[in-house]
Amino acid sequence: MGQTITQKILAAHCGRDYVEPGELINARLDFMLGNDITAPLAIREFEKIGAKTVFDKDRIALVPDHSTPNKDIKSAELVKTMREFAKKHGITYWFEIGQMGIEHTLLPDEGLVLPGDVVIGADSHTCTYGAIGAFSTGVGSTDLAAAMALGETWFKVPEQMKFVYYGKLPKWVGGKDLILHTIGLIGVDGALYCSMEFAGEAISELDMAGRFTMCNMAIEAGGKNGIIAPDEKTLDYVRPRAKRDYKIYASDPDAVYRQVVEINVSKLEPVVSFPHLPENTKPVSEATHVRIDQAVIGSCTNGRIEDLRIAAAILNGRKVHPDVRLIVIPATQEIYLQAIREGLAEIFVEAGGAISTPTCGPCLGGHMGVLAAGEKAVATTNRNFVGRMGDPKSEVYLAGPAVVAASAVLGRIGSPEELT
């Protein structure tokens, strides 16, 4: 019987030729990560179980990105815990302030997660790395603690779902719109504990930034992981970055899926997700009545240079609406530097926007743009739950960088087409 790309990767990492959805396995891990919210707890548990050393100092990344640079004493103490642990155990990939970035953009850009890998992270959006053909998923801090000691962890092999996107992508429609549309179709639990495999001609057309966005938000449909089989675009991205060997996997033609969903993208509009769930999606033409107080471009979902270029192209020569605060957050230091080199940073500042050092910041209501009661934001972030970006009486609308940039100018949610 044929297997999907996810089954093949998991089978290879537990020494098997075949794994069946639903069975429990122990799999060796290629890489793991923790951040300034989750790693300190994992470190405490690591020490509690009496582990003397990590299994491999080159296979762990510690990234302070959620509330950094430190926003208060508590966040400073959390990062201090990470720093001391990294020094004690000689962790190779400790990303200090100045080198750090948002973890799920930083690690693939640094060539630390690769095709065919099994990767865990104490963060739910670890599923991002499926964009390069890895099996990656989020775990709890206690699971990370055990994995740092043992180099392996357990999984229940997920059921398989396939999403096939066909047709030509319309202008301004990208990976964020595809995944929001998909979540709108199946709901926030429509892929519960399933592998979401994305395929089809529209996926082949997507750049890597769009693919990372789609896999990042698999968790918002309840998915265990999102994954895209590597192609030449993937390899063009991976080859100059890879710090070790990797292996390419692809699904068999006779692989078995619980469900196959086909989506024609050719008539899609940019998509907006209304509060308070990512599944509450509408085309942008049905969202133009929503006035906003804040627009955020960034996060592990849409903080890549491609996203900033889209936003800058719309903002160039225009001004942010006087009632709107525009916050732009490049996902890594290298992306920040590239935005400066390309003149994008100048465009954002001249338009009236504020640029932040790389951080998750407002995405989780941490800092750099927390909302007050009654305020509304449109953001390229990945969640819009009650209180996600601040006060429980605030509202977050999710969209791609084109819609967020246009909305910042219009003072309400709107399409870039309205500015042409």
Task: Please compute, for residue 78, the number of CA atoms within 13 A of its CA located in the half-sphere on the CB side.
Answer: 23
Distances (CA, A) of 276 to 220, 367, 388, 397: 12, 20, 9, 8
Q: Which CATH class is domain 272-419?
A: alpha beta
Instruction: Sort residue 222 into left (φ over 0), alpha (ψ -120 to 50) or beta.
Output: left
Q: Which amino acid is at 82?
A: M
Distance from C-alpha of 291 to C-alpha of 411, rounded to nearest angstrom: 6
Q: Which residues contact 15 (CB under 8 A, 6 or more apart)?
A: none
Give the model's pLDDT for residue 366.
Answer: 86
Q: Do domains 5-262 and 272-419 have the same CATH topology?
A: yes
CATH superfamily of 5-262: Aconitase, domain 3 (3.30.499.10)
Q: What is the pLDDT along the chain (420 residues), one digit of tens a residue?
A: 799 999 999 999 999 999 999 999 999 999 999 999 999 999 999 999 999 999 999 999 999 999 889 999 999 999 999 999 999 999 999 999 999 899 999 999 999 999 999 999 999 999 999 999 999 999 999 999 999 999 999 999 999 999 999 999 999 999 999 999 999 999 999 999 999 999 999 999 999 999 999 999 999 999 999 999 999 999 999 999 999 999 999 999 999 999 999 999 999 999 999 999 999 999 999 999 999 999 999 999 999 999 999 999 999 999 999 999 999 999 999 999 999 999 999 999 999 999 999 999 888 888 899 999 999 999 999 999 888 989 999 999 999 999 999 999 999 999 999 987
Q: Which residues, in sequence order, are CB contacts of 80 under 8 Å at separation 6+?
A: none
DSSP letter, residue 132:
G
Could you say which DSSP state residue 12 is in?
A: H
- At residue 40, φ and ψ (nearest 5 deg) are -55, -40
135-138, strands of its sheet edge to edge = 93-94, 60-63, 31-35, 118-121, 135-138
Q: Mapping DSSP to helix (H, G, I), strand (E, B) and coil, where does residue 378 land?
A: strand
> Amino acid letter at 257?
Y
| DSSP bridge pairs for 294 | 325, 377
Q: Name the nearest CA neighbour of 235 among 221, 246, 223.
A: 246
Tell me how far the alpha carbon of residue 109 is from its chain's centroid.
13
Which residue type, as a one-letter code, is found at position 364? L
DSSP letters along 40-95, please? Answer: HHHHHHHHHTT--S-S-TTSEEEE--SSTTT-SHHHHHHHHHHHHHHHHHT-TEE-
CA distance 147 to 162: 29
Q: Quickly count: other Cβ atoms within 10 Å of residue 289's Cβ.
A: 8
Q: Cβ of 199: how many Cβ atoms within 10 Å? A: 18
Domain boundaries, the chain: 5-262, 272-419
Q: What is the pTM of this model?
A: 0.94
